[in-house]
Amino acid sequence: MNTVHRSIKITSVACLAAWLGACSTSTPPEAAADPDLVIAESFIDAFYSFDPDRLAPIMAAAAETAPRLLYYQGSAKGGNYEVLLRTPCARDEEGIVKCPVKVKDDRVQALGTGFDVTDTFHLTFDDGVLVKVTTSSNDQDIYREAAVW
């Protein structure tokens, strides 16, 4: 893809994200050069807005994983997730875009461990389209035990 077309594609993605109300106010410079990173940052903005109507359109092509992420968004809202540290999204060596977000939530606060969890969103793109989102976290064992209880 030549530079002019790539620039137009990036601008189009940014405009789409803005239209969806999902643009980050502080898009990192590397995201501006990679349209997938622009979408990833918009995804994180939408997720932590706790508004499913804002998140769903970004995940329209991720039909298999969208229901779980929308459920997780509702759980995060109910758990009063508060973003403590949002690290810019970046590609790993396999091309997956990873977005780590350190959060404080009610369950961890109730456990009194003093530990704040980092949830990482793993976004898979196919030709500029978000097609899959999975998550991982560094939850302590006591957190999972409390969830079972």
Q: What is the pLDDT along the chain (149 residues), one digit of tens a residue?
A: 433 333 333 334 443 444 444 444 455 555 557 999 999 999 999 999 999 999 999 999 999 999 999 999 999 999 899 999 999 999 999 999 999 999 988 777 777 777 888 999 999 999 999 999 999 988 766 666 666 66
Of 121, 46, 135, nearest to 87 by C-alpha is 121
How far is residue 30's CA from residue 9's CA, in Å, rounded to a whole number? 15
Contact predicate 24/42, CB 8 Å: yes
Residue 32 has what pLDDT? 57
How many C-beta atoms surround the C-beta of residue 139 within 10 A? 16
Residue 51 has what pLDDT? 97
Contact predicate 103/82, CB 8 Å: yes
Residue 145 has what pLDDT? 67
Residue 28 has what pLDDT? 55
Residue 69 has what pLDDT? 96
Residue 68 has what pLDDT? 96
Residue 139 has what pLDDT? 72
Residue 54 has what pLDDT? 97
Contact predicate 87/24, CB 8 Å: no
Residue 99 has what pLDDT? 98
Residue 22 has what pLDDT? 43
